[in-house]
Every structure is written in C-alpha cells, then in structure tokens.
Amino acid sequence: MPIEDIPGKVSDRYARAAATGEQMCCPTSYNVSELLSFIPEEVVKISYGCGTPAGLNTVSPGETVLDIGSGGGIDCFEASRLVGPSGHVIGIDMTDTMLEIARTNAPIVAANLGYPTSNVEFRKGMADAIPLSDGVIDLIISNCVINLAPDKRRVFQEMFRVAKPGGRFTISDIVSDQPVPQYLVHNVEKWGDCLSGALTLTAYFAGLAEAGFSAIHLSKFSPWQAIDGVHFFSVTLTGYKLPVVDSIPAVRYATLRGPFSRAIDEHGMEYRRGIPQPIGPETVSLLSQPPLAPYFVLSFEPLWLDRGDPRWATILPAQAPCVWRGHFALLAGPFREVADDDHHVYRRGEPMEICSKTLTVLETAGYAENFAVINRAGPAMRGEAVTCSPDGGCC
C-alpha cells in the first residue's frame, strides 16, 4: 500500500465507524458519566482516543487550545469547559463526517455549559499541515491521532510552529517498544487500529525534540497489547516550547539532587549528584520547567551537596538476591540519559531488562514518574532467585 494512500483510507474507515458505531482502538476509557453531563451522547459514542489529555488539568482559563484530530469533538468540548467562556478551542480533523457531527453539537455543548456562544470552532485540515498562523496556541492536545499520520516528523514541526513561546502540548498516543514490522506497516486495518503507524518511544521523543520542544516527559502510561512480540502501549506526554530568554537570570549553577546519580539533559549537559554545574540562560529556562525543577538546586554561587544534606536524594536497591520476571524499563522522563545507584544507565525510550529489586526502585517516587515498564514474559513467568555478586547482592 503506498504511504500517500494512508490518510484517505484511514479517513474512510473512521467515517464508516461514525456511521455504523464500530468500536475502534480505546486502550484507555473516558469518564463517560461526567462527560455526558454536558456532551451529547452522539459525540461520546464515537470517541476513539487512548487517553484524555484535556482532562489532565493542564489547561488554564482563557487559554487557546488546539486539538489535532478532533473527531466528533469530545476533547475539544472538555477543553471548552476547562478554558471557560473567555478561552478559545480549535479542533482540526480530516474527516467530513466527524466535522459535521462536531459542528452540529458545538452550540448544544455551549448551552449546556451556560456559555452565551460556543468558544469552539472546527476546521478541516491535516496534522502535517495545520491551518493556523504561527505562535497562536497555548496548549496543543491530541488523542491517539498522530500515530495515524505517515509523516510524524512534519506533524511535530507543525505543532512547534503554531505553539506560542512558553506554550506546551499534552498528547496521548500509541507507541511501541520496537520498530513495527513491514507486514503491519502495510496493513490498512491495523493503521485504523492505531498499530501500524506507531513509532517506538525513542523515535517519538526524538521527533518532538528535533522539532524544538523541551522538557518532554511522561504524564501517563498504560500497557495495551502485544502482536508477534511487539508491545504497544499508550502514553500521555507533555512538553514545552521554551520562552525566549531576553535577560541574564541570577541563577548561574545547577546541582543535581537525585535520586539519579547522574543525568544528561536534552541540551547534552551532564550533571552528577551533589556537584554544581555552571549553566547559561537557556539551561536555566530548561531546568526551571515543572518536570525538571524538583531534581535540581539552582543557585548564583556554586552549591555542593553531600549525603547528609536533606536535599540529597538517593534510593538504594535491596542488598539481596533478585528474580528476573521479564520486566523492561523505558526511560520516559525529561532527560536524555540517567544512571541510578546500582550502575544501570537508562537512555530515553530504549527498553532495558530489569530484575525484581530494580523494579522496586523504579516504582518509588522520583523514579516512577520517569519510567514506563512493560513485561515481555507474561504473568506466568516467576523465575528463580539469583545472586550475582560476591557480597550476596545482585545487579
């Protein structure tokens, strides 16, 4: 199947689904009862997302929100409620059937919310050619749509173009732990199932970073299914278009608190826990973003930390044998690379096999929010306890 035929075929399938009620991919469900309090059932029943990005409370009143692949409008209408009557929401979609349903229901939702007029508009357009001017959007949302676009690199570039300096995205999508094989890539039905077009988590992060976004990090993770050894899972990611730095900030140094023993940020700067690192204005802006700020102490003068300092954070593994149960960890935090206190080095998006006690470490606060964990062996795998170091520890 020629790649250029994919958008039309996917659009046709979603149009049929809207007309027939066919259930599409939905690894994460909506809170239907809450949404039905102001969104018509006609919209709710044709919602095919893999997460609820507008429901993550990252939206502020008065903001302008863009939904890429708005479908019947469910996420736009939720965003409409969150931004309030002074905000504005724009939905783009390539399927006429979906646009008609969304436009028909927009005034009904506005009335249910008590708004004098609808603050939502729907435009026909493609994700890789967004019909908007540069720098006009505060928040971009997208719900299991970007994986349907053949040229995702262009989609990420378009997202960055329309975002305001200081703007951000919160998007949900299906990704995989390894490249999707060609027999799936060229399967029309699997494209509609949000499988064939899935990027690896590594490629997804790389595409967003290459477009210019920073502080990209995991907000939510949910395993979905495996096909012939390829694991697909839903992720909700947030990232930022950093504001323009027009003055030299007072901060001159960054000291890594932990729990990582070492970390490399998206600009390639390396930090070691407790050791102050000179930084420039752009790095100050990066490290001040919400997902990075908790891991650093920013200061005007060099600030050293030692193990007795309450700001020093460390999480050590148990000194005991471990069990291998088929778990793999994928770094999905705002760092390019990190190391723990047990000599593991994690690179963003790359699966690393971990034992039971490393899993316990990664499930603790400070680590958990930065990792997606999948199991390639299945729940029946128990394994035997092993010891692989002279002192009785492991790993």
Give yes or no: residues 125 and 139 share one domain. yes
Q: Model confidence over 60-118: pLDDT tens digits?
A: 999 999 999 999 999 999 999 999 999 999 999 999 999 999 999 999 999 999 999 99
User: Is the pLDDT assigned to residue 28 strictly greater than 80?
Assistant: no
**Mean of pLDDT over the chain:** 88
Residues 218, 250: one domain? Answer: no
Question: Can you tell me the distance from the alpha carbon of 41 to that of 258, in angstroms, rounded to the nearest whole number?
Answer: 47
Cα(221)–Cα(236) distance, integer angstroms: 6
The verdict on 207 and 351 lying in the same domain is no
**Residues 348, 325 share a domain:** yes
Q: What is the mean pLDDT of residues 318-334?
A: 94
Which CA distances in Å does 221 have to 51, 52, 180, 203, 262?
9, 12, 19, 17, 24
- Same domain as 16, residue 73: yes
In this structure, are 342 and 298 located in the same domain? no
Split into its structural domains, the chain has a count of: 3
Last residue of a domain, one of 240, 263, 288: 240
Query: How far is the C-alpha of 60 from the C-alpha of 64, rounded, in Å?
Result: 9
Q: How far apart are CA 74 and CA 80, in angstroms?
A: 10
Here the CATH number for the domain that contains residue 347 is: 3.40.5.100
Return the half-sphere exposure (C-beta side, CA atoms, 13 A cut-off) of residue 195.
21
Q: For residue 157, what is the domain's CATH number?
A: 3.40.50.150
Edge-to-edge strands of the sheet including 352-354? 352-354, 327-331, 371-375
Cβ(102)–Cβ(80) below 8 Å:
no
CATH at residue 253: 3.40.5
**Phi and psi for 29 in degrees, rounded to 5?**
-90, 160
Residues 107 and 221 both lie in one domain: yes
Domain boundaries, position 370? 315-395
- Domain boundary pick from 285, 314, 343: 314
Pairing between β-strand 88-93 and β-strand 120-124 as defined by DSSP bridges: parallel
| 391 or 349, higher pLDDT | 349
Residues 148 and 68 placed together within one structural domain of the fold:
yes
Q: Express each pLDDT in 168-205 by its tens digit.
A: 999 999 999 999 888 888 776 665 567 878 999 999 99
Q: Is the dihedral of CA 157, 163, 168, 169 positive or negative?
A: negative
In this prediction, residues 38-56 reach a mean pLDDT of 76
pLDDT in tens, 347-376: 999 999 999 999 999 999 999 999 999 999
- Say yes or no: 64 and 174 in one domain: yes
The answer on 338 and 395 residing in a single domain is: yes
285 with 165, same domain: the answer is no
Residues 79 and 210 in one domain: yes
Phi, psi of 307 (to 5 degrees): -60, -25
Q: How many CB atoms lie within 10 A of CB 344?
A: 17
Q: DSSP letter for 369, please.
A: G
Report the Cα 240 to chain-centroid distance in Å.
Answer: 12
% of the chain at pLDDT higher than 90: 70
Last residue of a domain, one of 287, 314, 341: 314
pLDDT at 20: 47
